[in-house]
Structure formats: structure tokens, C-alpha cells
Amino acid sequence: MKKELTNNNSSNRRKEMSKIFISCALPYANGPCHLGHLRSTYIPADIYARYNRMKGNDVLLVCATDEHGTPIAVKADKEGKKPIEIAKRYHDMIAKDLESCDISLDSFTRTTDKIHYKIAQDFFLDLYGKNLIYEKEIKQLYCENCEKFLPDRYVEGICPHCDSERARGDHCESCGRHLEPTDLINPKCLTCGHTPIIKESKHYFFRLSNFQKSIEEYINSNNSMPANVKNYAKNWLKEGLNDWILSRDMSWGIPIPLEGAEGKILYVWGEAFLGYISSAAQWSRKTGEKWEDYWNDTALHFIGKDIIYHHALFWTSLLEGYGCRLPTNIIAGEYLSLEGRKMSTSQNWVIWVADFVKKYDSDLLRYYLTINAPLNKDTDFSWDDFGRRINDELADVLGNFLHRTFTFTKKFFNSKVPEYKNPNDDDRAFEVDIEEIPNTVGQLIEEFKFREGLVEIIKIAKKGNKYFNDQEPWKAVKEDEERAANCLYLSNQLAKTLAILLKPYIPNKAEKIANIMNIPTDTEWNDSKLYLEVGHEINKAKPLFKKIEEETLEKEKEDLYKNLEDEENTDDNNKGNIDTNNDENNGKNNNKNDKGVENMSDQITIDDFAKMDIRIGQILEAEKIEGSNKLLKLKVDVKEKEIQVVAGIGTRYSPEELIERKVVVLVNLPPAKLFGVKSEGMILATDSAALLTPDESEVGERIR
């Protein structure tokens, strides 16, 4: 294998530089960030931005807080403050949250900045001048007591679809239906409780219907657009695009710049998109560079699943109407649930970023939210699974490989990379793995497969541990020093490669690894392919990943459920909306499930069977459990999350032949330990350990 020395003049290796405009969905300034925001948007965008900077591309990563709209105005009314005070408070909180998780934004501004007002009003006037915006009288709710029209969030009532009380004027949280304020039964003004009347008001509409064909072509012809974005947009397009109201009757927002439009503001979704542009424009003012050069080369939006249609349909139509180049791609992260339930800030079922980073390194959060599931799948945050992954993967796999490499290099070779001579077959195979991993991970990141890229990094760290164990340098140094030297030579090369490949994912830990290895922390991606010189001296090993104790995780769960209980006790109206399928209930049900599965000759009722959550899963990883011929440790994808299962099928199947295989799995068992290994479910098989074969089923399907 050709070996290169580390070279400080990396500019000679650069390909032609691309300019890349990357935007993160604007966080709404009526609350701080929770883990769902990071998972869907900010961490994926940051991984992609960091990787491209390392590849030598010129990246502009922008964001801003979205500070208009009725929720902020409503909160301000309740607190007796001005809306700008609420927006400023949460802008500062959000900025701190993003900074605490090392989101490497080049510009983070506000939609209340003067430049944003000007850009938004100029944009509106351009579309109005092209006759793409027109006036129309519509019926709206009007509060005679407050003497004002009631925008959607200023009114509550009964949902006409599910009869749930306290449905908002734009949305029913109980059934999820989109609503108009005039749809509500028995509507009430949120400010004073008065029953509003229906009154006509003039508003401004964007001719969205004009862009049906062109947006269909944009969506259909974009081969790199993720399937979840394409499918969501296509479903909307099937129903046909209707003209879209762009104004609201209220004072908090950007005034519509036309005579006769007094008291009218731009609808927040009509101007918030432009926060990407105004943020970039402010960056241009500071740097003297043109943001347009980045947008016109490659423009990417990282957003959450809930605003796909806003970006794929509304924003693109506005841009086309204005005459702008459309985004190169839109990347949408799916939802994050919490301990198997939908996350809810109103019900206190949430983990705030600020609370998390007080106790844990932000890199642990970045790692877990990335490795837990592909970006285009819903996933779940579980404290138990968080602890398992940190302990098993970061501490036991990655940390163990690095620590052994560094300590044995110090012990046997005076902390210097030893010579490499006469490699055996294992050495050469390991060399190939080290050579290939940068291209493999890089390609996956470029395809927005961030989780898959991180999985490959952990896989090669596992290979590193196996190679280290097989070569036994602690023995070989006494019997065959050349073999021990080769092992430590290649192990250090992989450690150096990992220090670079991990930078987009866990930048703080990657920097610590680089410092131990005594290599620069500003390396480029292709530096991962260069080998350390023989004799390169490394520094003393330091602990990188501390295991999380089970007692700590139990305390986190207790505190979380205590929050939920407190909320239930203080707000009876919320009880009907809270999923009661919690851990305590699962534990009670599972006693019956265990009996039913173990001895089906005992009669059970259909209700007993219904309590079993039996799903189609797909095995992602499989390995033998040391000390047992029968038991295998499996990692199983059940769509919402991945679980670890210990299964007694090792006498019939090898771990290798189980990878990618679909299985039937009981997922709502209480966690148990077998041979000291945690198991979170049960694979269903026959008495002879033959698996059931649901090949024609979809992963995550429930068996009824």
C-alpha cells in the first residue's frame, strides 16, 4: 500500500472549490430549543456544513429567529409585555442553545432586523407589481369587545371534526386537522373570552395556483431530492394548489407597503422564508462577499418534516414568481418522540437543550440523535437507549480501541508510531479497511445519509478492536516484536483517521483525539487518507468517553415522568390528550404477555393479545454473546426506533446471515438482562429456533 507523510500544504490536494448556501429552518422565538429541533434540522445541517468545509468547499450556513406571528403576540398579551421583548428573550435563549451544541452558523440574525423588513416589503411589491398578488374580501372573526379582527391563534373553540374543546383557530391538537377560525364551533376570543362575530375584511392573496405545473416539474425532475420530501409534496400537488392568503389583520408584523393596507401585515409564512436571505445579506455586509454567489451555485434547505409543503411548494413558488433560482435541494428530518410518546411542550413532555447540556457533553447528544435512525424516519429518544449507545458504542467500542492504542504505544514503543514491516494477511486486510473508510463515509454524508456514515465509523472501530485482539500485541511484543509493531502502527493510523472523520459528527471529542495524537485540529477531509510518519510521537492518553451509570438514567426517567404527573395534576384538560401507554403500564401488561407467549396452551382473551405490541422488524446488527452458544445480541429496526434484543437462535443461525433479515418482534416487554446483556424485546420463533419470515411486510408494521 502506498503510504504518504502528513503534509501541511494541503491546498495542493484541493479540488475546485464549490460555494454552498445552507440554511436551517428558522426557530420560532416563543420558546427555547428542545431535542426534536436539533435532530431534525440543526445537527444534520451542521454535519453537512462541517464536512464540506473540510472538503475545501466554501460554505455559508445561515439561520435566524422567526419573530412575528400570533403566538408571540398572544404570549406578549398574557405577560403584559411587548412582542419584541418576548422575541428578544427567546432569540437569546435559542442562540445559546445552538452555540452549546456547536452548530457552526456563519450568520444568525432576526426577522425583526430592519434589513429583513426592507427585503420582505420589496419582495412583496415585486410580486404585487407582476399581478401575482391580488386583493379579495373574505369573512373573518371580529371581537367587538377588543375592537379587532382575530387571527387564527387569537381564537379558540370546539373542533368541528372531533368535538375537542380548546381547538385553535388554525389547528386542532387532538385530531391534527388544519382549521380556519370560522370553522370553530362556539369560538371565543382568547384575549377577553367574548364571542366574536363574522365580518368581512380585505386581504391579499398570492396566485399560487399559477405555479402548479412548474412546481410539479421541479419536484419530479429533482433526482437527488429525498423521497420523504418528494412524496409529501406530490400528495399536496395531487389536490391542486390554491391561491394563498399573504396578509393578516394585526399590528405585530411587517406592514404591507401599500396605500389602503393600514392595519394589515404580511402573513408570517409570507415573509419568514426571507429570513434566509436577510441573514445572508447581513453576513455579506460584514464580510464584503456576495451571498448570491453561494445561492446560485448550490442552495440547500434543512428543515423539519412539518414544514415540507411550505418549502417545497409555497417558498419555491414565491421564488419563481420573483425570478430567483430555486433551491438545489430540501432535506427534511422526521419527528422525534420521547420515551415512546409524542413530544409536547404544553404537557411538559420534553427535554430542553439547555437542561441536557448542563449534565452531558453536547457531543453525546449529537452522536445519539444522529446514530439513532436515518434522518428520513421518525425516531424516539429513550434514556435507556441513550445510555446503551453511549456505553456500548462510544465507550466500549470507540473509546476502548483508542485508549488501548494510545496506552500500548506508550508502554511498548515509548509513545512513538513504530515501524511497519512484512505485514501478514490480517495486516493487509486491515490496511484496506483504513484506506476505504474515508471515501465510504464521505459519500454517505454527501447523500445526506448521516446516520449510515456514523454507523460505518463505529463498524471500523469494532474491526479495530477485533484486529487488536487477534494480534495480541501485549503477547507479541515478547515473542514477535515485529507483529506487535505492525499492530500498533496500523492502529495509530486508524486512530488518526477516526480523529478526522468524526469532526463533522462530534467535533469536541474529535479535537481531543487529535490533541492526543499530536496532529493539527484544522485538518481537511482528505488528510484522513495520509499516514503518520514512523516515529511520530503521540501524547498521553486521556479518558474520552465516560460511561453513564444506570442509576443516573433511572433518575432522568423519574424526573421526566414527574414533570408529566405535575402537568396532569395542574391541568385536567390535558389528561385526555396524554398517551397513557407509559413504562409503568407497560410493565403491568408485560407480565401477562410473558405468560401468553411462553405457554400458549393457557387461554387468553383478545384483550390480552391486543396488549402485545408485535411488529415487523429488520435486523441491523448481530453478534454472539460471550459465554453462550445459543444467545445472540441483535440490533433491530422497528421503524420508530432501534431496540436491542437477546435471542436464543444462535444454534440455528450465524450472526452474518441474520443481517438485513426481517423478523417478528414483541417490542413492549420490560427490559431484562440475559448473560449480563440488556434485552428490550423478544424475537418470535418456533420451538426449533426457526424464525418467522415476514418477507412481504413493511418494517414497523404492527401484527393484529
The Cα–Cα gap between 324 and 295 comes to: 10
The Cα–Cα gap between 667 and 636 comes to: 10
The Cα–Cα gap between 457 and 357 comes to: 24
> Tell me, what DSSP letter sits at residue 119?
H
The Cα–Cα gap between 169 and 249 comes to: 14
The Cα–Cα gap between 566 and 539 comes to: 50
Q: Return residue ranges of the chain for CATH 2.40.50.140.
A: 595-683
pLDDT tens-place string over residues 482-499: 999 999 999 999 999 999
> Tell me, what DSSP letter sits at residue 669?
S
Write the CATH number of the domain with boundaries 10-126+272-368: 3.40.50.620
What pLDDT, on the 0 to 100 scale, is given for residue 578? 23
Label residue 392 exposed, middle or buried (CB < 10 Å: 0-12, 13-18, 19+).
middle
What pLDDT, on the 0 to 100 scale, is given for residue 255? 97
User: Residues 525, 510: contact at Cβ < 8 Å?
Assistant: no
SS3 for 333-344 is: ECCEEECCECCE
Residue 24 half-sphere exposure, CB side, CA atoms within 13 Å?
A: 32
Q: Return residue ranges of the chain for CATH 1.10.730.10.
A: 379-529
Taking the CA atoms of the chain, what radius of gyration do you get in angstroms?
A: 28
User: Residues 653, 632: contact at Cβ < 8 Å?
Assistant: yes
DSSP string covering 510-521 = HHHHHHHHT--S
Those residues with Cβ within 8 angstroms of residue 564's Cβ, 6 or more apart along the chain or in another chain: 347, 348, 349, 578, 582
Of 377, 328, 333, 334, which Cα lies nearest the Cα of 223?
A: 328
What pLDDT, on the 0 to 100 scale, is given for residue 585? 30
CATH topology of domain 128-249: Methionyl-trna Synthetase; domain 2 (2.170.220)
C-alpha cell read off for 665: 418482534
Q: What residue type is 662 in one-letter code?
A: K
Q: Strand, coil or helix: what is 422?
A: coil
Q: Strand, coil or helix: what is 619?
A: strand
**Total H helices, total E strands in the chain:** 25, 23
Phi/psi at 277 (5° precision): -75, -45
Q: Return residue ranges of the chain for CATH 3.40.50.620.
A: 10-126+272-368
Among all chains, which residue has been given the C-alpha cell 386583493? 135
The Cα–Cα gap between 293 and 563 comes to: 48
C-alpha cell read off for 540: 498521553
The Cα–Cα gap between 139 and 517 comes to: 68
C-alpha cell read off for 695: 418477507
DSSP string covering 26-68 = PPBTTS--BHHHIIIIIHHHHHHHHHHHHTT-EEEEEEEEB--
The parts of the chain modelled with pLDDT lower than 50 are: 1-15, 569-602
Those residues with Cβ within 8 angstroms of residue 620's Cβ, 6 or more apart along the chain or in another chain: 635, 636, 637, 642, 659, 660
Please report the sign of the dihedral spanned by the C-alpha atoms of residue 339, residue 343, residue 347, residue 351.
positive
The Cα–Cα gap between 675 and 651 comes to: 16
SS3 for 178-226 is: ECCHHHCEEEEECCCCCCCEEEEEEEEEECHHHHHHHHHHHHHHCCCCC
Angle subtended at Cα 281 by Cα 277 and Cα 285, rounded to the nearest 5 degrees? 175
Q: Strand, coil or helix: what is 300?
A: strand
Label residue 386 exposed, middle or buried (CB < 10 Å: 0-12, 13-18, 19+).
buried
> Tell me, what DSSP letter sits at residue 676?
T
Q: 595-683: what CATH class?
A: mainly beta
The Cα–Cα gap between 671 and 649 comes to: 19
Q: 379-529: what CATH class?
A: mainly alpha
